[in-house]
C-alpha cells in the first residue's frame, strides 16, 4: 500500500450509490410502512453494538440516521446517491469508540423522506442539516463531508459557523471544474434523464455484483479491493434505494440543482469561499479521483495556508472506503492535534 502525500501538516500532526423517535409506520413519502416496521430496516448492516439506527423528525421531514458512541460529536455527511451508513461504514465503528458519531441520510436519499417538489439544492440540504443538529442539541461539531456532502459541509461551516468546530472535506464537490462524465449531461436533459435513470434502476434488478463493481470502479476511480469497497451490504443498499418510491425524482432534482451546464464549464466554482472559513480545515483526497482531480485539492489548500491536505495514493473518489485504514488514521490525527 502506497504512503499518502502530506501537505501543510503542522508539527505533531457517489456517487453512484451510495434523522424524534423510531416509527412503526411513517405515513410519509419515500419510506414504506412495510420497511419501517421491519426489524431488518432498523438494524440491518449494523453489527457493531455501539451503532444504532432510527427515524427522527426534522421539521416536516422524517430522516433516518445512524448514530452511537460517546464523547465529542462528529457528524458525517454522505455524497450523491448514497446514505449515511453505507458511505461511512468503514469509518463509523472506528470513531464510535472515542466519539459520538452521527450519519444522517439527507432528504431524498437512503431511508429518509423524499418530498416531492423540493429543490434538493445545497442550501436545502444545509438548512435541513442545521435543523437536524438543532434537534440533537449539537453545537461545535466536527463536520466531515464527502463529494456533494463536502459541499453541504462547507455551506454549513460558512452559514452556520456556530455549529462547526472543525471541518473535513473529502473529494468535495465545488472546488473546481469537474471532469465531466457523459452520464451527467444526459441527466440534465428533460425526459432523457428520466429514461437513463430508469434504465439504471432496471439494470440494478438483474446485474450481478461483479458487473456492478466493474462499472462503478471505472466511474469513481477505485483501485482497491472492490469486494470490500463495494461489498454485499453496499450493493443491497444500492439496489433497494434505487427502487424506493420517490428516489429517481429526488436524484434527478439534486443533479439538476447543482450539475447544470454553467457548473459543468466551471462557472460555479466555490473554492474562493474557503477564504471565509474560520475553523481548522483538513482536506483528504484520492490521488486518482476521476471526477474531481487532485489538483483542485492542492489549489484549495493553497488558499488557506493554515489548512492541512492529505492525498491518498491508490484511491479514487472514495478514499474512506477504498483506503479506510489510512483515511481513519489521518482523520484521527487531525481531530487529535488540531485546535
Kindly tell me if the per-residue pLDDT of 111 is higher than 60: yes
Q: Check if the beta carbon of residue 161 is closer than 8 Å to that of residue 278.
A: yes
Cα separation of 139 and 163, whole Å? 4
Of 8-17, 99-108, 229-238, 261-270, the range with the highest mean pLDDT is: 99-108
Q: In order of start, what are the domains of the chain with their CATH numbers? A: 5-337 (3.40.50.1820)
β-bridge pairing 100-104 and 51-58: unpaired
Confidence of residue 192 (pLDDT cuts 50, 70, 90): confident
Q: What is the pLDDT of residues 118-129, one digit of tens each?
A: 989 999 999 999
This prediction has a pTM of: 0.83
pLDDT of 42 reads 39
pLDDT of residue 226: 67
Amino acid at each position: 500500500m502506497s504512503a499518502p502525500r502530506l501537505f501543510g501538516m503542522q508539527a505533531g500532526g457517489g456517487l453512484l450509490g451510495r434523522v424524534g423517535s423510531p416509527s412503526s409506520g411513517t405515513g410519509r413519502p419515500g419510506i414504506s410502512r412495510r420497511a419501517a416496521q421491519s426489524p431488518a430496516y432498523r438494524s440491518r448492516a449494523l453489527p457493531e453494538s455501539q451503532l444504532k439506527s432510527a427515524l427522527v423528525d426534522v421539521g416536516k421531514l422524517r430522516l433516518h440516521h445512524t448514530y452511537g458512541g460517546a464523547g465529542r460529536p462528529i457528524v458525517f455527511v454522505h455524497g450523491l446517491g448514497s446514505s449515511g451508513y453505507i458511505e461511512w461504514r468503514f469509518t463509523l465503528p472506528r470513531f464510535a469508540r472515542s466519539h459520538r458519531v452521527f450519519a444522517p441520510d439527507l432528504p431524498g436519499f437512503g431511508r429518509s423522506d423524499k418530498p416531492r417538489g423540493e429543490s434538493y439544492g445545497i442550501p436545502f440540504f444545509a438548512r435541513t442539516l442545521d435543523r437536524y443538529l438543532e434537534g440533537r442539541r449539537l453545537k461545535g461539531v466536527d463536520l466531515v463531508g464527502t463529494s456533494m456532502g463536502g459541499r453541504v459541509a462547507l455551506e454549513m461551516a460558512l452559514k452556520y459557523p456556530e455549529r462547526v468546530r472543525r471541518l473535513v472535506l473529502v473529494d468535495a464537490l465545488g472546488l473546481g471544474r469537474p471532469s465531466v462524465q457523459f452520464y451527467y449531461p444526459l441527466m440534465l436533459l428533460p425526459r432523457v434523464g428520466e429514461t437513463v435513470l430508469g434504465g439504471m434502476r432496471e439494470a440494478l434488478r438483474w446485474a450481478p455484483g461483479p458487473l456492478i463493481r466493474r462499472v462503478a470502479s471505472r466511474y469513481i476511480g477505485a483501485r482497491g479491493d472492490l469486494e470490500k469497497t463495494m461489498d454485499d451490504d453496499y450493493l443491497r443498499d444500492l439496489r433497494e434505494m434505487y427502487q424506493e418510491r420517490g428516489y429517481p425524482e429526488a436524484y434527478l432534482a439534486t443533479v439538476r440543482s447543482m450539475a447544470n451546464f454553467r457548473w459543468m464549464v466551471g462557472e460555479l466554482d466555490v473554492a474562493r469561499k474557503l477564504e471565509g472559513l474560520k475553523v481548522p480545515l483538513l482536506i483528504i483526497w484520492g490521488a486518482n479521483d476521476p471526477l474531481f482531480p487532485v489538483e483542485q485539492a492542492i489549489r484549495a489548500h493553497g488558499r488557506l495556508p493554515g489548512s492541512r491536505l492529505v492525498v491518498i495514493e491508490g484511491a479514487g473518489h472514495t478514499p474512506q472506503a477504498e483506503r479506510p485504514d489510512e483515511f481513519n488514521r489521518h482523520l484521527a490525527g487531525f481531530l487529535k492535534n488540531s485546535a
